[in-house]
Amino acid sequence: MINLVQNVVDGISVGSLYALTALGIGLIFGVMRLINVAHGELITAMGYTMLLFASQSVVVAMIGGMIAVVLLALVTERVAFRPLRSADPATLLVASFAVSFFLQKSIALVIGYRPKGINILPSLGQQVVVFGVRLQLLKMATIAVVAVMLILLTWFLKRTRFGLEMRAAAENFRMAQLLGIRGNRVIAMAFALSAILAAAVAVLFISQSGFLTPRMGLQLVVIAFVGTVIGGLGSLVGAAAGGFFVGATTVFLQAVLPPDLRQLREAFVYLVVILVLLLRPQGLFPASGLKERV
């Protein structure tokens, strides 16, 4: 029974992390129809920047890292993606792969592929006892942080003027321009927002894993991306739900499958995505106003 509760918490925690990652991808896809593979490198960059700030306080490191990652996102948007704004989806996808690989290899060039240890927020590593069950504080913190960020993001999108403009641009970019919404500004804002989400994911992830590799962002993003496809690329709710589903499922399968099949749990997720693409390509939670789909 205790094991079950721990697994459930674990599942929700991992699911939340992937949901947040997926949201970052979904935001960009919404306004630009671009699958930003390079989102992973934002996560990786945040991790390594925090390593740079390791001697400072954690708060300083987080702020410094966040600024760096937002800048990185804005630069990639301006340099690589804005010129391609009217290109076809295949070109955009290839471009985002190229950006992702360039950033990843550049980081590896400077730092190397060997994992580097990092220890942030060690105070969260302890365990607490809730209703008689031992739970990791870190996992609870992850769930809490993601929940808060979801609420903030929802508030931003539904209640602020910028959020309104972003939603309009996501639904119909050209029409939004015809109403005077500055397309460039909205897209830049989306990138900046996604960078903040990536930064949060990075902090939560490396607190749990304890080490950095140049590939860590990509690995997270690939799974999260599959989640957004399952959930529905066009809607943020779909992206978050899909990311959550994928994360939670991997934990669930880990707990449930016999040992020799456990490693295959990710393959299962990929099978699901193929099924979704075949049977319900708009995803399990498609956007209501969505006309274009994958």
Partner 1 sequence: MTAQSSGNATATMGNPTPLLAVSDLQIKYGSITALRGLSIHVGGGEIVAVVGPNGAGKSSLLCAIAGVVPSAKGAITFLGKPLIGLSPEDILRRGIAMVPEGRHIFGSMTVDENLRLGATVRTDRGAIAKDIEELLETFPILRERRKQPAGRLSGGEQQQLAIARALLCKPRLLMLDEPSLGLAPIVIDQVYQILTMLRQRGMTILLIEQNATRALNTADRTYVLSAGSLRLSGTKTELLNNRDFDAAYFGVAEAETRVLP
Partner 2 sequence: MNRVLRALWPVLSLMLLVAAIAVAASGGSEIVQRQVTYGLIELIAVVALYIFVGNSGLLSFGNVSFMAIGAYVSALLTMRPASKGMLLPGLPELISSAQWPVIPAAIAGGLVASAFAFLAGIPLMRLSGIAASIATFAVLEIVYIGAGNWTDVTGGQNSLIGLPIYSDIWVCLIWSLITIATAFIYQETRSGLLLRASREDIVAARAAGVNVHRHRLVSFVISAFFSGIAGVLLGHFLGTVRIETFYLDLTFAILAMLVVGGMGSLAGAVIGAIVIAVLTEALRRVEAGVDFGIFAVGALPGLGDAVLALAMLLIILFRPKGLSQGREITWPFRAERPSSSKNPSESLADGSRMAPRPMISKPES
Nearest CB to partner 2, comparing residues 120 and 220: 220
Binding piece for partner 2, criterion CB under 8 A, among 52-60, 134-142, 171-179, 189-197: 171-179
Q: Which residue among 45, 229, 248, 251 contacts partner 2 (CB under 8 A)?
A: 229
Work out whether 277 is an interface residue with partner 2 (CB under 8 A).
yes
Would you give the DSSP letter of residue 35? Answer: -
> Which CB, 111 or 124, lies closer to partner 2?
111
**49 and 68 Cβ atoms separated by less than 8 Å:** yes
Q: Which residues contact 226 (CB under 8 A, 6 or more apart)?
A: 242, 246, 269, 270, 273
Residue 176's binding partner, choosing from partner 2, partner 1, none, with beta-carbon cut-off 5 to 8 A by kind? partner 1
108: contact with partner 2 by CB under 8 A: yes
Q: Report d(CA 48, CA 65) in Å as an integer.
A: 8
- Site residues for partner 1, 251-290, by CB under 8 A, read 287-290
When asked if residue 270 is in the footprint of partner 2 (CB under 8 A), the reply is yes
Q: Calculate the alpha carbon distances from 181 to 33, 34, 85, 175 in Å.
A: 18, 19, 16, 9
- Residue 128 binds partner 2 (CB under 8 A): no
Closest to 266 in 3D by CA, of 36, 83, 14, 75: 14
Of 167 and 262, CB closest to partner 1: 167
Choice between 151 and 175, CB closer to partner 2: 175
Question: Is residue 75 near partner 2 by the rule CB under 8 A?
Answer: no
Query: Could you tell me if 18 and 220 are in contact, meaning their C-beta atoms sit under 8 angstroms apart?
Result: yes
Give 95 or 206: the residue with its C-beta nearer to partner 2: 95
**Binds partner 1 by CB under 8 A, chosen from 51, 183, 254, 272:** 183
Q: With contact defined as beta carbons under 8 Å apart, do 199 and 46 qualify?
A: yes
What's the token pair of residue 166? Answer: 């972003």
Tell me which of 167, 215, 262, 265 binds partner 1, using CB under 8 A: 167
Number of residues in contact with partner 1 under rule CB under 8 A: 20
- Residue 90: C-alpha distances to residues 33, 168, 185, 290 (Å): 11, 24, 24, 20
Q: Are 46 and 202 in contact (CB under 8 A)?
A: yes
CB of 235 to partner 1, least distance (A): 9
- 249: which residues sit within 8 A by CB, 6+ positions away? 265, 268, 269, 272
CB 168 to partner 1: min, Å: 5
Q: Which residues bind partner 1 (CB under 8 A)?
A: 164-165, 167-168, 171-172, 174-183, 287-290
